[in-house]
């Protein structure tokens, strides 16, 4: 399919620069894939659309302090963005450097008073840096939470770029569908009889990379670390046997579940696993585990939009996007979201 089929017009003023006043006050658009009906409300009502015995799967990754300020020995300021945080003990790491062109291979960059890194090589705009200490410790001491490139507002409460259930450090971008939940809302959902489970997928910076190929099929995803606990797999498989809904919160959860799907007889089940995935989902993919999806409004011509199109149907999804634009809803990481079932 041509990538242009997944483009849409989005006024720049609809790109959310800050989160909603309260997490649960984001707008929610509910899409019914069978009837093509659309319901508009606030995310605080998400429990109304969940059923007793549903299974809600969340991504408990935690965003690391991947943005580091450094300086050249000549005095120039350099911005470092660590691209993957799944192995914080490493010293050699791929990063984005700004300004990359001015820095030569072999040059040393200074970080604070005691730390430094050396540029080993440049490949296709990516810098490979060798740090003089554990990168995790350097990020913890000198790093800042990285916000997406389309967020320009500097005065931020960085805690709002973490989910309330974040646990395992390793992501350089938040699983944004989960940002709408509060602890109180999760308790309300559990009280209704919904089982809440967790997987981990450490979101990489590649989540912001648009599809640059002419055909969506030739786009390549960057690999990301994931982990599915045995208990999560066991409960999901029991729910599938009992024909209960599996609700993926976010494209990260959907990709993780689908990557670990295994066929047994005429049905698909989930295996407990950990490792790296570059799972890329695009139409006409048929989902094997996820029955419903909670997701934000994504950027044009992105792998996230393509996955969501595979789940909801491209025409139905893009018509809902046009409705969101018409109503001046907020887009991307700090924006509004949808529940597709």
Run means of pLDDT, 10 residues per run, the chain, 341 residues = 97 97 98 98 98 98 95 94 70 92 95 96 93 91 93 92 96 97 98 98 91 96 95 98 98 98 94 96 98 98 98 98 98 98 98
**Domain final position from 144, 175, 191:** 144
Q: Measure the CA dihedral 67/68/71/77, to 10°.
A: 30
DSSP state of 286: -
- CA separation (Å) from 154 to 122, 147, 204? 29, 9, 22
Answer yes or no: is 149 within a domain.
no
Answer yes or no: is 292 within a domain.
yes
| CATH code (residue 106) | 2.40.10.240
Query: Which pair of tokens denotes residue 307?
Result: 């996955």
Euclidean distance between CA atoms 110 and 131, whole angstroms: 10
Q: How many domains does the chain have?
A: 2
**Domain final position from 144, 172, 191:** 144
* Residue for token pair 């997944």: 6
Euclidean distance between CA atoms 250 and 209, whole angstroms: 17
Same domain, residue pair 203 and 265: yes
Q: Note the pLDDT of residue 86.
A: 47
**How many residues does this entry show for the chain?**
341
Q: Note the pLDDT of residue 317.
A: 98
Same domain, residue pair 40 and 167: yes
| CATH code (residue 180) | 3.40.1780.10
Answer yes or no: is 223 within a domain.
yes
Residue 73 structural domain = 67-144
Same domain, residue pair 225 and 76: no
Query: Which pair of tokens denotes residue 81?
Result: 């963005």
Q: Note the pLDDT of residue 90.
A: 75
Same domain, residue pair 164 and 22: yes
Q: Work out whether the CA dihedral 41, 45, 47, 48 comes out positive or negative.
A: negative
**Domain final position from 144, 165, 188:** 144
Q: Note the pLDDT of residue 87.
A: 56
Euclidean distance between CA atoms 159 and 50, whole angstroms: 27
């Amino acid at each position: 399919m041509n990538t242009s089929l997944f483009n849409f017009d989005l006024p720049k003023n609809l790109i959310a620069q800050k989160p909603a006043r309260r997490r649960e006050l984001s707008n929610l658009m509910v899409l019914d894939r069978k009837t093509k009906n659309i319901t508009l409300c606030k995310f605080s009502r998400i429990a109304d659309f969940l059923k007793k015995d549903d299974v809600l799967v969340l991504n408990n990754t935690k965003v690391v302090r991947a943005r580091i300020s450094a300086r050249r020995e000549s005095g120039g300021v350099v911005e470092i963005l660590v691209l993957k945080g799944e192995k914080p003990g490493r010293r050699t790491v791929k990063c984005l450097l700004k300004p990359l062109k001015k820095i030569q291979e072999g040059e040393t960059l200074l970080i604070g008073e005691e730390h430094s890194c050396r540029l080993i090589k440049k490949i296709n705009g990516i810098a490979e840096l060798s740090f003089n200490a554990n990168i995790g410790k350097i990020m913890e001491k000198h790093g800042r939470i990285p916000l997406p490139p389309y967020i320009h507002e500097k005065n931020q409460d960085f805690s709002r770029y973490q989910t309330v259930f974040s646990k395992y450090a390793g992501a350089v971008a938040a699983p944004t569908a989960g940002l709408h939940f509060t602890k109180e809302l999760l308790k309300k959902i559990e009280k209704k009889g919904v089982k809440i489970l967790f997987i981990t997928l450490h979101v990489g910076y590649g989540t912001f990379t648009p599809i640059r190929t002419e055909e969506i099929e030739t786009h390549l995803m960057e690999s990301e670390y994931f982990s599915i606990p045995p208990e999560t797999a066991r409960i999901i498989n029991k729910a599938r046997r009992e024909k209960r809904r599996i609700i993926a919160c976010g494209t990260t959860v959907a990709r993780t579940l689908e990557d670990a799907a295994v066929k047994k007889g005429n049905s698909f089940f989930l295996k407990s696993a950990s490792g790296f995935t570059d799972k890329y989902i695009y139409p006409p993919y048929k989902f094997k585990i996820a029955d419903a999806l909670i997701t934000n409004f994504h950027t044009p011509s992105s792998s996230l939009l393509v996955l969501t199109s595979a789940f909801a149907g491209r025409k139905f999804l893009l018509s809902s996007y046009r409705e969101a634009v018409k109503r001046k809803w907020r887009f991307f990481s700090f924006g509004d979201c949808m529940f597709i079932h």
